[in-house]
Amino acid sequence: MTLAANKTLVNITRFRQDFPILQQEVNGKPLAYLDNGATTQKPQIVIDTVRDYYERDNANVHRGVHTLSARATDAYEAARHKIKDFINANSEKEIIFTGGTTEAINLVASSYGQSRIGQGDEILISTMEHHSNIVPWQMLCQRTGATLKVIPMNKHGELLFDEFKQLINARTKLLAIVHVSNALGTINPIEAMITIAHQHDVPVLVDGAQAIAHTSVDVQALDVDFYAFSGHKMFGPTGIGVLYGKQELLEAMPPYQGGGDMISVVSFSGTTYNELPYKFEAGTPNIAGVIGLGAAVDYLTNIGLDNIAAYEHHLLDTLTDKAQDIEGLRIIGQAENKTSILSFLVDGAHAADIGELLDQQGVAIRAGHHCAMPVMEFFHINASARASLAFYNNEEDITQFIAALNSSLTLLR
């Protein structure tokens, strides 16, 4: 079935008009933005919300007695409420604003890790993690004497489930796993993994950076303990992200950073900490970022994550089918359950050269190791080219990409 033959799929494509940046030409060609895994573009409503905040309401939150501060605080807390509903958390106390996924994971590694993980303990991650979900755990292991264990994968880019079950044991103190791999597009079976981890009393952190804009996430249904994501990968501003954590876990964790807002009383004889979620939000937060993220969440909710997932599934199938017709093209990551990402190599052409030549034809992709060097090592490659989709991409983008790739390859090979 073509996109045009399906009504729901066609309806999604009209939302492309909401993105002013997509209406331009780059290097004399319409922009085909296929680098959504790196960051997504912003709809007009997010841009307007951030601008309106600075034009009308800018003030510090939780502090001032004046009208602007009250407005800023209301908008800030309203965004927290929207995000709580968006991922179906139980309470606003479970929504901690961070700078992004990276900071959210570092928060858990520092606070939870330092207080609960020690010598002889094990932390379980997988081969397909982004560096953000590797390095904080390596650093924690260095500090505590714990050991990092790694779940292997097969040549399709799927985790080996039986190996996972063997690796989890009484020494395992945390499972930290990516929901959707940014280098492969694999959707991991996190629900089943969480069930097994909990049978061993192991809490689970899920890196949701690449999942949150492509599939609906219900943290209560998943029973996940921590879920981290970034605003900029879900059509919101940069520099803002979320750590969801179960309230009882967050309550028991020591603060991550000290400073303003995270305290209740400060005295030289001792300091008491603020209640959740403020205990983890030291200093003036990214107020405009939070409010902009709230607008992005409204926007996404209106389109519907299930509609987005169905549309992108179709688009990825179309892209994959057409790419496979190109001689010498090898897809990196062919998991059964995949979303939105086509990582590839072509015989006789460097990924970086492909990226540059595509750019000259208005097509934006990423080329490199995608901050997932262990994935590259597994496939014995240094880099791959990656086209990554969002719901505003359409069949014209794919046609332009395939034509540009073919003409680049005639120059390169």
Could you list the active site residues? Answer: 371
Closest distance to ligand PLP from the beta carbon of 98 (Å)? 9
Q: Are 82 and 316 in contact (CB under 8 A)?
A: no
Reduced to 3 states (helix: H, G, I; strand: E, B; else coil), residue 98 is strand
DSSP one-letter code for 112: I
Q: If we measure between CA atoms, which residue out of 167, 151, 247 comes closest to residue 202? A: 167
Closest distance to ligand PLP from the beta carbon of 398 (Å)? 22
Bridge partners of residue 273, in order along the sequence: 263
Determine whether 148 is exposed, middle or buried from the number of CB atoms within 10 Å of its CB (0-12, 13-18, 19+): middle
C-alpha to C-alpha distances, 206 to 40, 50, 105, 209, 224, nearest whole angstrom: 20, 29, 9, 9, 7
Cis? peptide before 277, omega within 30° of 0? yes
Closest distance to ligand PLP from the beta carbon of 157 (Å)? 13
Closest distance to ligand PLP from the beta carbon of 27 (Å)? 25
The residue (of 339 and 394) whose beta carbon lies closer to ligand PLP is 339
Which residues bind to ligand PLP, rule: CB under 6 A? 100-102, 130, 132-133, 178, 182, 207, 209-210, 230, 371
DSSP string, 134-190: THHHHHHHHHH--EEEEE-B-TTS-B-HHHHHHH--TTEEEEEEESB-TTT-BB--H
H or E element in which residue 28 lies? none
Reduced to 3 states (helix: H, G, I; strand: E, B; else coil), residue 29 is strand
Q: Are 140 and 109 in contact (CB under 8 A)?
A: yes
Closest distance to ligand PLP from the beta carbon of 252 (Å)? 25
The residue (of 79 and 357) whose beta carbon lies closer to ligand PLP is 79
Reduced to 3 states (helix: H, G, I; strand: E, B; else coil), residue 391 is coil
The residue (of 101 and 127) whose beta carbon lies closer to ligand PLP is 101
Closest distance to ligand PLP from the beta carbon of 61 (Å)? 22
Q: If we measure between CA atoms, which residue out of 129, 84, 63, 85 comes closest to residue 242? A: 84
In angstroms, what is the C-alpha Rg of the chain?
Answer: 22
The residue (of 178 and 187) whose beta carbon lies closer to ligand PLP is 178
H or E element in which residue 126 lies? strand 122-126
| Residue 292: φ, ψ to 5° | -65, -40
| Beta pairing, strands 204-207 & 226-230 | parallel
What torsion do the CA atoms of 377, 379, 382, 384 make, to the nearest 10 degrees?
-140
Closest distance to ligand PLP from the beta carbon of 245 (Å)? 17
| CA 230 – CA 236 distance, rounded (Å) | 8
